[in-house]
A and B are shown apart, each in its own frame.
Chain A
Amino acid sequence: MNNIIKRFIPQILAILFVVLIFGFLTLNAQTNMDNRGIDFGFGFLSQESSFDVQFSLIEYSGSDSYARAFLVGLLNTLLVSFISIILCTILGVIIGVARLSSNYLIKNTAAWYVEFFRNIPLLLQIFFWYYAALRALPMPEKANAWFGVTYMTVKGYYIPAMVWENLNVFLYCGFAAIIAIILLRNYANKLRDIQGKQIPVLLYSIGLLIVLPILSFLFGGVSLEFEIPELKKLSKISYIYEGGISLPPELIALVLALSLYTSTFVAECVRAGIEGVSKGQKEAAASVGLTHNQVLKLVIMPQALRIIIPPTTNQYLNLTKNSSLAAAIAYPDLVLVFAGTALMQTGKAIEIVSITMLTYLTISLTIAAIMNWYNKKIEIKEK
């Protein structure tokens, strides 16, 4: 009896406490909204948004609904996160490996890189790139071509656009190549288990990835043309590039800051992972007669990745959440488009802020769930 009371009283109190807080807040919200004549509801999502977004991946204009504005923002957030994740991984791996180099200069340069970019607040870095560094770029008419066809100007980065014909055939070929590679891998594994033969899978895979798409160009009727940006005079002093794709400076500043900042954390994860594999593993593998590359591929990397991947995914999540700082330099991401402009116009503070938070929460929890599943899968199964 005593035990039951001990177990249940605190739980009931805790639940009561939570219910009371929520009840109190809802009650207040109710009276506040009644007083101000606001009604709660998500009907506004289908209304016409009547504001414009300067940069969007899908067709969007002021006559579209708020729901579509939300989608535009979400896609922009995902775009900037996606690019930054790729860049920060490349940079992070390079820096992380460099920190373990035997070369004094490389080791210390990498260490200072990490210390430097890690200890400056991300917001300041974004501001620095956007307001200071990118503003120093030339005007469109004075820009020099980079790699001949791309132009870095104060109004953004102009790159050639790809104009595809029969893109679907090309994509099918790509898919076919990937499926073929998976089959080949399975076959190679089987062959190794049964006969002990090794096939250079990587070489064949790269070959497949190159040959199949080339075949699609030769026989599938696929063609690719580049639309190169060209300078156009708008008025006496104002020039602009037309054609191609223009990446706005906000996007560039954001990608630069996010990937430089996050790459330091990724580098630390990579370093910890490689250091975490004990030296004995390497020596044991070498003494079995594996070559240096085989040691890396079959012994070191699988163990290091097990340590590296979970914290790195965490960093990717942080990056995605940090991409919301875009609002500070007016890159139209989820926060700016939806929690900024749309909120300002509709006044639906509660609904809009909750939708925004729930969206981020969904992204985070989904990735966290996948990570947990993955961790369980790669866990060392001890007997």
Chain B
Amino acid sequence: MQKINFLKPNRDNIKNYSIIGSFLVLVSLIDVMSNAFLKINLTSFLPSSLTILFPLIIGLIGLNMMRIDYSGNKTLDLLNKNINTNNFNALLTLLILFSIIKALPQSLSWMIFDATISGDSKDACTGTGACWTYIKVWFRRFMYGMYPNEFHWRINTAFILVIALGFVGYFMKENLKKYLALYYVIIYPVIAYLVIYYLISGGSFGLQWVETGAWGGLSLTFIVSFFCLIFCFPLGMIFALGRRSNLPAIKYISICYIEFWRGVPLITVLFMSSVMFPMFLPEDFFMDKLVRVIIAITLFEAAYCAEVIRGGLQSLPRGQYDAAKSLGMGYWKMHIFVILPQALKLVIPGIANTFLALVKDTPLIFVVGLAELAGMLALAKTNPKWLGFAMEGYIFASIVFWIICYAMSKYSYNLEAKYKTER
């Protein structure tokens, strides 16, 4: 006797089944859509408890009818393989589709269709949607903090210069390439510091002095993370080598250093830099708050950097050390010419990840009173003229940070893939 397979298609009747199935799925999707977009309830004739479940049940039956191991129809097979392998998967597929459809109109109308962007005061925002006017008016503050408007070109020029200097390494002549590391580790940080000091701080060359207290916004995030990166890298290298050293005193000093900084949260380190650090400085020695914060974050991140670099050092085969030693190289010669060039290449993705973490940590400097993006948002939020737009502000900041961090993580992923194939 043939098994009754109601709702179970085979290759002969798949055409009918797939048509009925896709029709049912379509009905369920249309039902949800009309509910979400047009606020029309197509199934109001059903009892209310069934109304919610109706599209789900119809959709499930539809998907079940379309499911077959091999139909010969390319589209159908692709569909079945990817979203419809079994009942549980079909259920999840439908749930995800429904929630996307339900959430879409609300968020779209809030963010785009009902939103306001014209005007330059709070009064322009009368709609029910988001008030992007707020972002538009405060944009310069979010980017540059309280830095005087007429001097914003100084920040832009400084950034362009610093980035351009960073690319110098690519265009160096062949015979200068051996100084590349020297350039990046010692010369570049100094030049970058001078550029930022003289252009952004000013005070000479006819540029007006701008206090670091006025710096802020996204540019401050860049400044802090840039300096922390270029300083924490050499420091981390020293401690990574120290931890691998066979001299016990140096080894244990490095271990203590690394484990100490890795064991405490950054926020306490920042607290330390703002309330405890001044106590440890000579009496009449004043250090700017921003400099203190940069030092604190550098010391903190150096420990993480050290661990990443140590990973690279450890992954090199022993043969490299032995070969270098058998050529009569001493410790420094061996490391500078044989070990570090290979190890550092291996840890570039890891360093990129550390840098990513560093960028995500910079909003924390807000707790010691430096107003970078998160700090500016807190300021703008409490401005009596612009009360009640916290949501827009945080969404804007989240998007900005998300783009930066996502681009960086993709870049580090590419680097990882690139260096993986070369080995």
Q: For B221, give the chain A residue with the smallest CB separation.
A: A121
Q: Are B394's CB and A127's CB within 8 A?
A: yes
Contact B401 A360 (CB under 8 A): no
The CA-CA distance from A324 to B364 in the complex, in Å, is: 11
Q: Does A116 contact B (CB under 8 A)?
A: yes
In the bound complex, CA of A176 to CA of B86 (Å): 42
Q: What is the 8 Å Cβ interface bit string for chain B, positions 362-377, against chain A (1 contact, 0 not)?
A: 1110110000001001
The answer to whether A365 touches B276 (Cβ under 8 A) is no
Is A203's CB within 8 Å of the partner chain B? no
Interchain CB contact under 8 A, A105 and B93: yes
- Determine if A61 is an interface residue (Cβ-Cβ < 8 Å): no
B394 touches A360 (CB 8 A): no
Answer whether residue A361 sits at the interface, using C-beta atoms and an 8 A cutoff: yes
Is B1 among interface residues, defined by CB-CB distance under 8 A? no
B83: CB under 8 A from chain A? yes
A contact residues around B267 at 8 Å (CB)? 324-325, 327, 335
CB-contact partner of A123 in B275, B359, B374, B402, under 8 A: B374
A7 pairs with B247, CB closer than 8 A: yes
Distance in Å: Cβ of A172 to nearest Cβ of chain B: 38
Residues of the A chain whose Cβ atoms lie less than 8 Å from the Cβ of B140:
none
Given the complex of chains A and B, what is the CA–CA distance between A349 and B277 in angstroms? 9
- Supposing A10-B247, A105-B93, A350-B276 touch, asked if A115 and B394 sit within 8 A by C-beta, the answer is no
Whole-angstrom CA separation of A335 from B264 in the bound complex = 12
Does A166 make an interface contact (CB < 8 A)?
A: no
- Contact segment of B15-23, B208-216, B248-256: B248-256
Residues in A with CB closer than 8 Å to B223 are none
B89 within 8 A of A: yes
Segment 79-132 of A: residues with Cβ below 8 Å from B: 101-106, 109, 115-116, 118-125, 127-128, 131-132
**Residue count of chain A within 8 Å CB distance of chain B:** 58
Bound together, the chains give a CA A351 to CA B363 distance in angstroms of 26
CA distance A15 to B247 in the complex (A): 12
What are the interface flags for B236-256 relative to A under an 8 Å C-beta threshold, 1 for contact and 0 otherwise?
000000000001111001000
Contacts of A356 in B (CB 8 A): 268, 271
Interface residue? B397 (CB, 8 A)? yes
How long is the Cα–Cα vector from A193 to B276 in the complex, in angstroms?
Answer: 61
Q: Please measure, in the bound complex, the distance between the C-alpha atom of A224 and the C-alpha atom of B363, giving whole angstroms.
A: 46
Kindly supply a per-residue 1/0 record for chain B positions 395-409, scoring 1 wherever the CB is within 8 Å of any chain A CB and 0 otherwise.
Answer: 101100110011001
Find out whether the CB atom of B364 lies under 8 angstroms from the CB atom of A123: yes
If A7-B247, A127-B377 touch, does A132 touch B406 (CB 8 Å cutoff)?
A: no
Contact A29 B280 (CB under 8 A): yes
Q: Output the least CB separation between B329 and chain A (Å).
A: 14
Tally chain B residues at the interface, Cβ within 8 Å.
Answer: 57
Q: Would A120 and B398 count as touching, CB distance under 8 A?
A: yes
A371 shortest CB reach to chain B, Å: 13
Report whether A28 and B280 are in contact in the complex, using a CB–CB cutoff of 8 Å.
yes
B279 at the interface (CB under 8 A from A): yes
A298 at interface, CB cutoff 8 A: no
Query: Within B249-306, which residues are at the interface with A (CB < 8 Å)?
Result: 249-250, 253, 259-260, 262-269, 271-272, 275-276, 278-283
B52 at interface (Cβ–Cβ under 8 A)?
Answer: no
Q: Is B97 an interface residue (CB 8 A)?
A: yes
A199 interface contact, C-beta 8 A:
no
Specify which of A18, A32, A109, A339 is in contact with B283 (CB 8 Å cutoff): A32
Are the C-beta atoms of B92 and A105 separated by less than 8 Å?
yes
* CB of B162, distance to nearest CB on chain A (Å): 23
- Do A31 and B398 touch across chains, with their CB atoms under 8 A apart? no
Residues of B within 8 A of A104 (CB): 82-83
Interchain CB contact under 8 A, A103 and B93: yes
Say whether A67 faces chain B, with CB atoms less than 8 Å apart: no
Contact B280 A132 (CB under 8 A): no
Partner of B265, one of A109, A125, A136, A321: A321
The reply to whether A115 and B406 contact each other, CB–CB distance below 8 Å, is: yes
Task: Compute how far the CA of A57 lies from the CA of B269 in the bound complex, rounded to whole angstroms.
Answer: 27
Looking at A12, A15, A118, A123, which has the most chain B CB atoms within 10 Å of its CB?
A123
For residue A357, CB closer than 8 A to chain B, the reply is: yes
Q: Is B122 an interface residue (CB 8 A)?
A: no
Known: A11-B248, A357-B264. A35 touches B279 (CB 8 A): no
Chain A residues, Cβ within 8 Å of B280: 25, 28-29, 32
Take A121-B360, A135-B390 as given contacts and tell me if A353 and B96 are in contact as well, using a CB distance cutoff of 8 Å: no
How long is the Cα–Cα vector from A135 to B359 in the complex, in angstroms?
28
Instruction: Say yes or no: B363 contacts A119, CB within 8 Å.
Output: no
- Alpha-carbon distance between A131 and B283 when the two chains are bound, in angstroms: 41
CB distance from B35 to the nearest CB of A (A): 20
Docked Cα-Cα span, A251 to B363, in Å, equals: 20
| In the bound complex, CA of A328 to CA of B360 (Å) | 15
29 residue pairs bridging A and B, Cβ less than 8 Å apart: A11-B247, A11-B248, A11-B249, A12-B249, A14-B253, A15-B253, A28-B279, A28-B281, A33-B279, A105-B93, A106-B92, A120-B398, A121-B361, A125-B398, A127-B374, A128-B398, A131-B390, A131-B394, A132-B394, A135-B390, A321-B266, A324-B267, A324-B268, A325-B267, A335-B268, A353-B271, A354-B276, A357-B272, A364-B262
- With A29-B280, A324-B267 known, 4 other A-B pairs at CB within 8 A are A32-B280, A132-B390, A357-B268, A360-B263
Q: Which 10 A-B pairs have the closest CB atoms?
A: A119-B405, A11-B249, A364-B263, A321-B265, A104-B82, A132-B391, A361-B263, A324-B265, A128-B394, A25-B280
Residues of A within 8 A of B (CB): 7, 10-12, 14-15, 18, 25, 28-29, 31-33, 35, 101-106, 109, 115-116, 118-125, 127-128, 131-133, 135-136, 321-322, 324-325, 327-328, 335, 339, 343, 349-350, 353-354, 356-357, 360-361, 364-365, 368
